[in-house]
Structure 1
């Protein structure tokens, strides 16, 4: 069977799909993963075959409409969700011609798309093959699809449908306790951490005498001044701070903060040694923390990001961490939250409870069987 996986414009979308894509290939199926050209190195780095869906930089779709006119990011959650749907839909439109060209020569039997990869249902409908939607992370997409339907009206009319086709199978990697009450029926799947690797050093996989806090802004990094101020506030005599960040940002940080360990640190290696992970509300980072049962502090920088990060609020309600929104992101507030998470052992207990729950879910290798049944 030929399976086409579709990521989007960040490494995180690749990492979210990698466990199932790798399991499918291990089971003997042919697998290609398509995504914007900017993330093709990330696809190749995890050992999958990459295909460029578009060469247009991702910020273009978020900041400009189809005609190239500037668009403004909304400042409220409801409009923020619709906005997210619209710009991911514009990415889908730009991807369709290359994907159809690929399908002429390498016709997939099945298309698997990430949470907001709207090219997947459009392509599957055009080809008449099954479509699978897999969550990249635990973030919600309620209220986002209507924005995509609105943006994709010309394409939907051409297909003769009034909205985006429903998936033939919905695969969810969200811990069951963090799924929303109105969650769709799903094939649940255990997710395992995926990230780019580097040569490990002993300190990365061993615990020291001090409590360890890992600070990360994901593959993009965080604003340097904000990151530096945050590290200074989190640091304490009984706490070791390590920063997982792109090397350019990490080198600057090492130059200004004596003794700080910063660099492209494999998060799946260092996370089990941590007492707390502070991050940018990244879905893959959050799942990595949950996988290892580590409390987390999520920092949401923008309203459109906050609009689909409700799972982080549910994680906080469950007692496995804390979540700060735009307007709360002062170094003082972050420092206080870190101290609370480190000093109160209940957060670690709840994070470990979620880790045990995730460990009971079906493995990707088991879910491959569900994919095979779709095309039987």
Structure 2
């Protein structure tokens, strides 16, 4: 089969589809990844054959603004490389494309909140494209794959094919400290993901947060994009800072402090690491609320600060609570066990291989 994977947004989306795309390649299928220009380097770093379809980064919720260019680019690609199956994500443009060329479509997401309102809005924005292409209503995806463990999904979530989260990120040459635990003290990882050049979304100055954690006896690692590492290294002194493969370092951590990105959450959850989340957008807050409800995390919402309370103090107190109370680690381990029990990408691939055409 020829399988086309489509991605847009951040590098994290590339990393999220890589396990299933790699499983398809390992099974002997031809695979292409259709990506935005800003994501091509990430695709190359994980060994996926990628083709650029637009020069600009796609942002979720903007399907209607960029749909014509994206659809035309995909249709042009299909003239010379016609897929037998299309796998997309949050955007509905690949769904339109798959329906237009009459091949099965699967949607893969990691989500804990209802997407119904966002999806309705996106579909309404795509109506002009459906009319332009002479199409009626869009068929439902042949398969809806959700990487989020069922325990975190809210009541009423759409039926989905569960799939195990398999961490996959850009790698680097490793030194022993990356994959070994420090002796006699907890390890805390701080990151703001790949969409934030600097860690200014964590609700308090980074230096202050690091000082609070080291003052409590923790070893602190700061995972940041290479572009930010030089400046942060000067600011933070002897703290290790730079591109740290989260999948490798996660099993050595006792706590992760971050912005609530789904990829970061899932990678830490996969390793059984409790989390302190300062969400940088509503979607991240939904993820954080679900984890908190399960007992594997705490959240400080920097967008909605407590009146009269310093966010830095709240974050520091939450970190101390997680590190001192073993119940957070116990709940995090339960999530890791649930995630490990879900079907692997290779198992889900076998079902994708026999999806009927619309």
State the TM-score, normalized to the length of structure 2.
0.91
Per-residue deviation, residues 320-359 of structure 1 (Å, max 9, x unmatched): 0012321238222211111111111111000000100111
Q: Compute the displacement of 1:163 (Å).
A: 5.2
Q: 2:274 aligns with which of 284, 287, 295?
A: 295
Q: Say whether the 8 Å CA contact 1:233–1:332 is kept in structure 2.
A: no
Mapped partners of 1:164, 1:244: distance in 2: 41
Give the one of 188, 191, 197 matched to 1:213.
188
Is 2:340 the counterpart of 1:359?
Answer: yes
**What pairs up with 1:148-297 in 2 under 5 angstroms?**
148-159=122-133, 164-208=138-182, 209-221=184-196, 222-224=198-200, 226-297=205-276
Separation (CA, whole Å) in 1 of partners of 2:284 and 2:223: 24
Cα distance in 1 between the residues matched to 2:350 and 2:219: 44
2:121 aligned residue (147, 151, 154) = 147
Q: Is 1:310 aligned to 2:289, yes or no?
A: no
Q: Whole-Å Cα distance in 1 between the matches of residues 172 and 112 of structure 2?
A: 27
Per the TM alignment, residue 138 of structure 1 is displaced from its structure 2 partner at its CA by 4.7
Q: 1:327 aligns with which of 283, 295, 304?
A: 304
- Does the 8 Å CA contact 1:134/1:171 hold for their aligned counterparts? yes
Paired residues, what number?
347
Structure-1-length-normalised TM-score: 0.87
Question: CA separation in 1, counterparts of 2:68 and 2:122?
Answer: 11
8 Å contact kept, 2:112–2:154 = no
Q: Distance in 2 between matches of 1:157 and 1:373?
A: 30
Post-superposition shift, 1:9? 2.0
SS of the residue 1:147 aligns to = helix
Q: Distance in 2 between matches of 1:93 and 1:185?
A: 30
Name stretches of at least 5 consecutive residues in structure 1 with no aligned partner: 63-83
Whether contact under 8 Å (1:111, 1:130) holds in the other structure is: yes
- Asked if 1:374 corresponds to 2:355, the answer is yes
User: How far is 1:53 from its partner?
Assistant: 1.7
Alpha-carbon offset, residue 88 of structure 1:
3.8
Change in CA separation of 1:242 and 1:274 when aligned onto 2, cut-off 3 Å: same
Change (3 A) 1:166 1:229: farther
Q: What do the CA deviations read for 1:287-311 (whole angstroms, capped 9, x no partner)?
A: 001100000112112xxx3146423
Per-residue CA deviation, residues 93-137 of structure 1 (Å, 9 max, x unaligned), is: 4311111111000000010001x1222111001101111001145
Root-mean-square deviation (CA), in Å?
2.0
The ranges of structure 1 where at least 4 consecutive aligned residues each deviate by more than 4 angstroms after the TM superposition are 136-140, 159-164
